[in-house]
Chains A and B, each alone.
Chain A
């Protein structure tokens, strides 16, 4: 059990982690997500007593790490796969750590076998690939057979077989009753591995809930509706009817409609009443990746800008349905990339505790996008073209 209370870390004027409180429980794999520079590694270092928090504290099993009676036997960590002396062989590296922690030397050969490095044990780790380095780091974390395990980006550089192995390893470790805390950027991987998520952005807690709660709370599930392509009039008619009934309708590039805010049967009924035939009516649930992107889009520090060709594109349709704006008949295009609708109103993604389940799969209409985001609109954008011209 890892418990952080009001954890804060400042480096000079920069606040890396601010008032972070969370618990990592034994028996489940807890994923630790956040954009680059959001403070994940700083938090991990504070858990391990390597960095001293400016305020707050973090304990493992009730003790700060540096006061644990047998720290290496209770906590194992992989912080950085590159954090080995390249001139030392894999076996010597692990042997020195085992000796330091008072672990019998035969355990070294055991973990080398567990991570599959027994054949290169005598080789200097300088020549290791990133994947082999990760395996060596995982071996070091497993050395003490600890109850609490921390992994910072364990699947970086691993091949698909290695990723599968790490996934199963994490699950196995958790099922044995250990506390497993894993940070990763690979959302698809996290969706498969983790049971619980802690998401931070700009050093602050964004979410602390189970994966399924997280996805439903932070994604807009939608229905895809397709009308006969031969009759565009039907499409417009259906759009009008659905909008009138309180639904949000966006147009997909291939002519399908993306409807939110109305349950599937209601869409079908409305279409039937309007005498519109449907070629497709299907539910879509967002992935963890989309939920994560929507949650963290305001907290991303390093964002790539649009391609310069963007200003040559025709301006998108004016208007945007939302607060203070009457529903428009004009069908919006689905934003293509780099932008995700914010979570539905009434749900505060910044709340730490698991929330009430989302109001049905077809949540109320999303709020107008925050000014910080880059919605398709007619307002003159602070475009990068002027900067480019200089």
Chain B
């Protein structure tokens, strides 16, 4: 028993529990968060829908591309696609991002919505540990699920379109599987951090979906010459553009990040917001 070592006479309480006392640590918090995340249905629903969307869109687009390409090649026109078949994974990634954002926000904001956060923080006054455990469990879960799904989709896409597309390199394989998984998991982690800051499910999900889609929509209507540079910037750094860049070795829109770079950018942004979430969670009343 690792109870406080001082004598019972010095103990501030008269009652001593027979259950052995041991200090809780991050491992306990991880087990707790794992129990939490697997015992609510929204996890199953969002991840299930995400898997379906990634499979359906990734394979559907690949099948359509293969069919039209073959039709064209029968006409004797263009034969080979320059890019590898893995790039079609992007089409499943965009809607999957919405599912991951929802789950990321719900992981923390549902605790605020129900008041469960008070119970949690009473059971573990170390707030940083709670948030760290949430972030780790969430990241690993989403990373695993999306990487496996993305790998399945990638293999299937290469099988469907492979004969008329370029052979993917090892680096492309890695980016299309683990890279895509890490990108989505980081996006979810950013949502979790934002959910911690905003503490409101609907609000945080709206902000994240706005962040995901709005730059492209806004850029679309910046027709004025004077706003050309802003428009270029928005098009290059909007999250969907970054997802496309993740699949290609060369910057897809002339200039900007490509390859692993979008992942590093997102990791940086997520780290900053998560740091803010830690600081605010520690100082704020709940």
Chain A residues engaging chain B, CB cutoff 8 angstroms: 1, 26-27, 45, 48-52, 61-62, 65-66, 68-75, 77, 79-80, 82-89, 92-93, 95-97, 99-104, 107, 140, 143-148, 176-179
Contact = CB atoms under 8 A, between A and B. Distances in A.
B35 A99 contact: yes
Nearest to A102: B24
Given A82-B115, A87-B41, A101-B123, A178 B15 contact: yes
Contacts of A50: 118, 121-122, 285-286
16 contacts: A1-B13, A66-B126, A69-B23, A73-B21, A80-B118, A83-B114, A85-B114, A96-B32, A100-B123, A102-B25, A146-B17, A147-B13, A176-B15, A178-B13, A178-B15, A179-B13
A77 B14 CA distance: 18
Contacts of A143: 123
B116 A87 contact: no
A106 B21 CA distance: 15
Interface residues of B, number: 43
Counting from the closest, the 4 A-B pairs by CB-CB distance are: A177-B14, A83-B115, A61-B12, A102-B24
Contacts of A82: 114-115
A27 B14 contact: yes
Contacts of A107: 19
Nearest to B31: A99
Given A72-B24, A85-B114, A62 B12 contact: yes
B17 A96 contact: no
Contacts of B18: 145
Contacts of A140: 119, 123
B254 interface: no
Contacts, number: 146
Nearest to A46: B285
A84 B32 CA distance: 14
A51 B32 contact: no
B102 to A, nearest CB: 14
A179 B16 CA distance: 12
A85 B23 contact: no
Contacts of B13: 1, 26, 61, 74, 147-148, 177-179
B146 to A, nearest CB: 23
Interface string B170-202: 000000000000000000000000000000000
Contacts of B12: 1, 61-62, 147
A87 B42 contact: yes
A22 B41 CA distance: 44
A102 B22 CA distance: 7
A1 B12 CA distance: 7
A62 B4 CA distance: 14
A97 B285 contact: no
A142 to B, nearest CB: 11
A26 B32 contact: no
Interface in B90-137: 110-111, 114-116, 118-126, 130
Contact of B40 (A66, A85, A99): A85
A48 B19 contact: no
A82 B285 CA distance: 19
A28 B226 CA distance: 75
Q: Which among A71, A75, A176 has the highest number of chain B CB atoms within 10 Å? A: A71
Given A69-B4, A97-B32, A100-B28, A88 B14 contact: no
B123 to A, nearest CB: 5
A48 B39 contact: no
A147 B17 contact: yes
A84 B36 CA distance: 11
A144 B13 CA distance: 15
B266 interface: no
B116 A84 contact: yes
B164 interface: no
A181 to B, nearest CB: 13
A86 to B, nearest CB: 7
A244 to B, nearest CB: 56
Interface string B242-255: 00000000000000
B29 interface: yes
